[in-house]
Every structure is written in C-alpha cells, then in structure tokens.
Amino acid sequence: MLLLRQLPEGLTQVRMATTWLGRPLMFCHAYLVDGLLVDCGHPLVAPEFEQWAEGADIGKAVITHHHEDHAGNAAVLNRMGITPSAHPLAASWLAAPPRLLFYERVIWGQPPPAAVKPLGEQVATPRYLFRVLHTPGHTGDHVALLEESRGWLFSGDLFLGDRLLYLRREEDARQILSSLLAVLQYDFDTVFCAHRGRVPQGRKLLARKYEFLHEKWQEACELSRQGKSDREITRRLLGREGLMTWATAWDLSKRQLVRSLLSEK
C-alpha cells in the first residue's frame, strides 16, 4: 500500500505499509520536500514505490539510516539514476545487507544491495537548506535533517513517541539520550517522523521523550545500586513485557531498554 498526503507546509508525505487481509501492518513514511526525498520505504512496496517515484520530481535523496523501512528502496532509486546520500557508516551495510530477522522480513522485506554516497554537513535544495545532525543510538549511522529557517526537523526514527518503553538489541539508550539532548539545542517546532508522520509541536514532545528516558535512567541506576536485578528493575519501571517482545522474538524488549541504560561503557 502506498498513499500520498499533501501537508500544509507544501511537502508530500509518502505513506507506505505492507498489508495483511487488506489492512496496513505498520506505516513508514518518506517525505518529498522541494525535490529532496527523505527516506524511501521498504522493499515489500518496491513496485508501488517505483511507479510513484518515476512520476515524482525527485532531484536528490537522503537516507536517515540503513534500516529496511527507510533505505529499502535505495536500489529502485539507483535504477532511476539517483544515488541517495547517507551517513558513511550506512554504505557497507547497504552494499551487502545481512539477512534480516523473520519479523522484519514479514513486515518490511529483505532489501537488495544498493549504493549510497556520504552525506556532507548540509543538503541544499532550491528553496531550503538542511543541516545534517548525526544522531546515533537507534543505529550508529542515524541522522536527522534540520531546516532552521522553517523550524522543521526530519527525525527518522529519533522520535517515534514521547515514551520509549522497548529497545532493540542493537540500540543504545544512552546514545539516544545524548542525541535527543543534542537536537534540543536547536530551535524548531514541527517534527516529521518516519512512523508518526507530521508532529506539530514536535520539539516539545521530543523534550518530553528526553525527560521520560532520563528519569528512567536515574531510577534504574538507583534500583541497581540497591541490588535489584534487571528483571525486577524492568518490572518496576516499565511493567511486564508486552506483545512487541513476543512478536519480535525478544529483538525488542523492555528488559533490553533497562540493560542498555545500565550498561557500562
């Protein structure tokens, strides 16, 4: 499924989802802003994406990180003569994507190899100038794009929601905290999230996410000093594991969030 939504800012939101019995499993969003495509969706929507992209006015593309729901159609763009830009760490992963986990293959699909070029410090379009902010934590190669004059932040997977309850095995919760803090140094208002869509007052909600996670970190450290186990700390701070944990075979879990907050680095 691929749906288009015109946003009040003059952007196009490209909404993509794999469907099951006609219903979307989970949307991921790309944005087309002044000829710049930010992210490109997942491999299971490649035919629809290709059909849309061929008729769209795409001058250049940026990928916020290597995950298959953001970079999954980079090979389609390559066929159209477009080499997207991404953080230098993304290139080797995208050139030879490892086999994904089962749930990822079902929801997003296995991406084919694709070529990207390294991002600089900024990306210019005819009307806008985007500052590239390296925001690791969700992945090491994660970036966000800031358009300061308009107060826009294209946040990839940095936002997702104002409460973080689950973490993937490869994620680093304390790096996410640092990246949130780094982004909050800037002035912006609207966040364009790859899953939540357009978030008015997004900066306020990003600040709330930082405060929530920072508080959990402090509480987890205190409980750990008292000798509580990771399991006990998780139960107290985040509650029991939920459907997400089981559906992803523990790739995402609440306990992983606690472990990452408490990890020695």
Q: What is the DSSP letter of 8?
A: T
Distance of CA 175 to the CA centre of its chain: 14
Tell me which stretch binds Zn ion (CB under 5 A): 49-57, 114-122, 155-163, 246-254: 155-163
Q: Which is nearer to Zn ion, 104 or 157 (CB)?
A: 157
What span, in angstroms and rounded, lies between the C-alpha atoms of 223 and 61? 45
Count of CB atoms situated within 10 Å of the CB of 192 = 28
Q: How far is CA 208 from CA 67, 116, 161, 259, in A?
A: 25, 34, 9, 22
Q: How far is the CB of 183 from Zn ion (least distance, A)?
A: 16
Q: Which is nearer to Zn ion, 62 or 237 (CB)?
A: 62
Reading the block at residue 250, the tokens are 């523990």
> Applying CB under 5 A, does 157 fall inside the site for Zn ion?
yes
- For the segment 56-75, give every residue that binds Zn ion (CB under 5 A): 67
Q: Which is nearer to Zn ion, 202 or 233 (CB)?
A: 202
- For the segment 180-239, give every residue that binds Zn ion (CB under 5 A): none
Tell me which stretch binds Zn ion (CB under 5 A): 53-61, 116-124, 157-165, 172-180: 157-165
Count of CB atoms situated within 10 Å of the CB of 240 = 8
Q: How far is the CB of 136 from Zn ion (least distance, A)?
A: 12
> Applying CB under 5 A, does 162 fall inside the site for Zn ion?
no
Reading the block at residue 226, the tokens are 């008292």
**Residues of the shown chain interacting with Zn ion in the complex, contacts defined by CB under 5 A:** 67, 157
